[in-house]
Chains A and B, each alone.
Chain A
Amino acid sequence: MIKKLTFAYFLLILFLPALLLLGLKDMPANIQPGFTTTLKIYGENTIEQYFSPVSGNLSGIGLSIKNANLLNKNDLILEIYKEDLLLQKTVVSGYVIPDGDFVKFRFEPVKVVDTDNLSFVLSSPLSTEQTFFETYLASENLPGNRGLVYAGENREGAISYVLLYKPHWRELVSSVYKEVGARLSEDVVFSFLYGIVLASTLTYLFLYRKKG
């Protein structure tokens, strides 16, 4: 029984992370930058963010959205373009946008490469000067930022966004285990000592397995 329990725990510790990764719908390509000021989205005040993506299956864009006092119940629309060609369009209702929440605009994955010139447009035609959405400008430059247009005028910097990609489970699992291996190899002294202790216990368990 002890042998079986030990083996079960060993398998669980080893493979539970891999199983958990099955629950990952999308993977961020970057860490969301900090914020400075906000830009209001209503009527014709739209935001156009131009960017170069990371190659992969682009499946969403994450943004922090302000919806003061949850007043705005109108739709917030995000459209993705490649040059002038509309690739995807997704709509999130103001009903489900709490103030300051990180909102993921998800859509059917689109295969993109890093040489593509993409842009996304954020708009809310039915919102007004009194009831509007806001999103934040990034406090630092984003890799891949190719320009920002607000209400038809060019602006400095970029809004604070995160590109989301549909992960490939096998590649993801392999990259996680490789990451662990790489970090262990960076700390040679610890890994060596840890390995010896672990190997000693394992050797004991193997040699004296009849006792269990």
Chain B
Amino acid sequence: MRLQNLKRAMFDILKKTKIQYMFVAALFFRLLLMPFFVHPDIKIYHFQASFLKHGVIDIYSYLNEKQEELTFKEEFVYFPLAYLALGSYQIVISPLLGNGFETWLSDATQTWPVDQYAYRYLFVLKLPYLVLDLLLGLFMASLVTSKKRKEAVLLFWFFNPFSLLLIYVYSNIDIIPVFLTVASLFTAKKKRFTLSAVLLGLGAAFKAYPLALLPFLVLKADGFKQRVKTALAGLGAFLIVLVPFWSKNLVSDSLASGLTTRIFKVYISLAGLHIPVALILGLLFFFFFWKNVKTQPLYRMYFAATLILLTFIEFHVQWLLWTLPFAVLLVVKEKRMRLITLLIYLLGFSIPLFLQDKSMTVSLFRSLSLVFTSIPIPFSVIARYVDPHKFVANFRFVFTVVALFQLALLTKINKNK
């Protein structure tokens, strides 16, 4: 696939006036959000990534060695490509941000969100997310054929409140692997399975979850030889990035960290073996899609795989972004899925709002003023009436039930094409 073809596929739709208007409107309220809302994670992982410009390559070992001296003691939990990408971006932008930027990154006091230049820093740090987010919309629109569906995809992607919150308010790095998984879908549609697998492997070099999509991509490849090639390309791309960084610190802080292995925590015991429930469900879906590989589109498979990952675990809110592009394609192509998908997202988003964590709610506004940190969080309001932990557990249970129901719906062949 030539770059020109890709450019044409993505940007030609911008010539249509209504889509152009939609694009600018989406840009407008994204610009409004970028500098004024903040989650502390963006500062912490950029603080860690700032060591690349000082020549630190093995960030995992470095942070462990220097833990006592650093203002933030956290380990680097992401995979190496996240460090390289964020660190490289900082090398480019640091001269534009001035000397105070590094001081701000290492500032662990309560007043960092109201620093004189905080708006500038937050805006620039979120700029790559804006580019990826807008490109992602165009990418997804190019995955459907009719004008009406293209408009619907853009409407659902650009104007849904979930992606806005996840990308510009919670601001985690997930948009990068999400972009790569959608790029994988795009290239797979063009029958470029090896490239598609490489994109998944690169996505996994940021965060592990795109590896869970690889078996489904392999199913879609034609013939045994192509399937082996696809599997090897995906794993190869992942390992090529990972191996140079291999150390016991990488294993403990990232590869085998509580975040990466959380999916294995819910299991059933069988003959002394702990078998993760998500793995069982994943295998069931793998065999289902294998049987119906000709009738099942890849976006359904990717949606199922990402939803399975979230169904049984205490997920972080930003992980909901993993499913979102596939959910958009699903609801555009299958109207009957709209209500239940909306329900999944409403439930998924409600859970973190009720956690005992200010940074998930009122503190997101503290870049406007520190007074927002004094507003009572939903957790303490609920605690006056019911046990808040039980309340959240019930929400999680309902989420799991609804997610399982939607997964069951996915096993029905889509006749609404």
A residues apposed to B, CB below 8 Å: 1-3, 5-6, 9-10, 13, 17, 20-21, 23-28, 31, 167, 172, 175-176, 179-180, 183-184, 186-187, 189-191, 194, 197-198, 201-202, 204-205, 208, 211-212
Contacts and interface: CB of A to CB of B under 8 A. Distances in A.
Interface string B356-373: 000000100100110110
Contacts of B120: 187, 189-190
Given A23-B375, A190-B119, A2 B22 contact: yes
A205 B28 contact: yes
B315 interface: no
A180 B21 contact: no
B29 A17 contact: no
Nearest to B110: A31
Contacts of A179: 114, 368-369
A9 B29 contact: yes
Nearest to B29: A9
A66 B28 CA distance: 49
B370 to A, nearest CB: 8
A194 B376 contact: no
27 contacts: A2-B22, A2-B159, A5-B159, A6-B25, A9-B32, A9-B164, A10-B29, A10-B32, A13-B33, A20-B365, A20-B372, A20-B375, A21-B371, A21-B372, A27-B371, A31-B110, A167-B371, A175-B369, A180-B36, A180-B368, A189-B120, A201-B31, A205-B25, A205-B28, A208-B17, A208-B21, A212-B18
B35 interface: yes
Nearest to B33: A13
A204 B23 CA distance: 11
A80 to B, nearest CB: 20
Interface string B29-59: 1011101100000000000000000000000
Nearest to B378: A23
A201 B375 CA distance: 33
A26 B374 contact: yes
B38 to A, nearest CB: 13
A176 B366 CA distance: 10
Chain B interface main SS type: helix
Interface of B: 17-18, 20-22, 24-25, 27-29, 31-33, 35-36, 110, 114, 116-120, 123, 155, 159, 164, 362, 365, 368-369, 371-372, 374-376
B21 A212 contact: yes
A204 B35 CA distance: 21
A35 B49 CA distance: 33
B375 A24 contact: yes
Nearest to A200: B24
A17 B32 contact: no
Contacts of B20: 208, 211
A71 to B, nearest CB: 22
Contact of B374 (A13, A24, A184): A24
Given A1-B155, A3-B25, A211-B17, 6 more contacts: A23-B376, A24-B371, A28-B374, A179-B369, A201-B24, A201-B27
A212 B24 CA distance: 10
Point out which of A5, A176, A191 has the most chain B C-beta atoms below 10 A from its C-beta: A5
Nearest to A9: B29
Nearest to A24: B375
B29 A176 contact: no
A180 B116 CA distance: 10
Contacts of A10: 28-29, 32
Contacts of A21: 371-372, 375
A83 to B, nearest CB: 30
Nearest to B31: A198
Nearest to A10: B29
A2 B27 CA distance: 13
A194 B35 contact: yes
Contacts of B164: 9
A136 B89 CA distance: 44
